[in-house]
Amino acid sequence: MNAMISAIVVWLVLFGGLQRRVRVSQEMTWVCTSEHDFQGIQWVEFRFVENPHYIANAAGQGLCDALKFSGKRTVRMKFELKGDVSGYRGNNALEIEGLSGDVSGGAGGIDFGLTGPGPDPLKRVFDNAR
Query: Side chain identity at 51, as an amino acid letter?
Result: N
Count, in order, helices (H) and strands (E) of the chain: 3, 6
**To 5 degrees, how large is the angle CA 109–CA 117–CA 24?**
45
Tell me the pLDDT tens digit for each residue of 1-52: 677 676 665 555 555 557 888 999 999 999 998 766 677 788 889 999 988 8
β-strand partners of 44: 32, 58
What global pTM score does this model have? 0.73
Locate the domains of the chain by residue range: 19-128
Is 66 in a helix, a strand, or coil?
helix
Rounded CA gap, 20 and 125, in Å? Answer: 13
CA distance 130 to 111: 29
